[in-house]
Amino acid sequence: EEIKVVLTSDVTVKGGTSTAYGSANTTKVTIEGNENTLTYEDSYRTYIGLANPDAVLVLKDMNLTRSTTGGTHWHDNNMKFECNTQMTNVKFNKGICLDDAKTFNLKNVTVSKDKVSTYAVFVTAGCDATFDGCTFTGTASDRRGIKVADEDVADKTQLTKLTISNSTFNTASKAAVLVTSEGGANVVWGEGKDISNVAAD
């Protein structure tokens, strides 16, 4: 079972802490943006998941954002993906946090985090994440790049794999990629990376 959603205009939907798309039989959920904006609106964190843990969520050709009515925790400016995810041609002005996603693939994605002292992307232990043609930047005075951490993951000893190519990092604090996970990470740098605007501590 595959589900496909096509946006014909800007759309705002209610987010929350238990959003799960599809059913146990759903193998793929695709949301095609057609260059429109998809906004998740909530009062705390936005969690995105799939009912089938082996299924994949595909987001294509859109502006992705979220609006929140309060909260000062770093999570309040993130969208948390609890499922295997693919993003292609997406512009996102918040942060991404992965939670038990087995695979996470971004192609031609810009993540522009606008909250101080937080990372553009958090990758939890055990994920296989690929970034190709991506830009990691932000408007915050200490904008940061990618962090591999043990936040909200049960098995902290899992090895994380990152493959990064043709991507640009613009950070004002920390390294382009920071690994603090107990299980460590295998980071593969491909061709075309630009870290000339990285300020590492």
Confidence at residue 47, expressed as pLDDT on a 0 to 100 scale:
85
pLDDT averaged over 10-residue windows placed end to end, the chain, 201 residues: 97 79 95 96 81 95 82 71 94 84 93 80 91 90 88 81 96 90 94 89 64
Task: Rounding to the nearest 10 degrees, give the CA dihedral for residues 62, 138, 131, 8.
Answer: 0
Model confidence, pTM: 0.92
Confidence at residue 73, expressed as pLDDT on a 0 to 100 scale:
64
Cβ atoms 120, 177 nearer than 8 A = no
Confidence at residue 138, expressed as pLDDT on a 0 to 100 scale:
81
Cβ atoms 51, 20 nearer than 8 A = yes
Cβ atoms 94, 78 nearer than 8 A = yes
CA 130 to chain centre: 11
Distance CA 111, CA 134 (A): 8
Residue 50: name the closest of 31, 17, 23, 86 by CA. 23
Confidence at residue 107, expressed as pLDDT on a 0 to 100 scale:
97
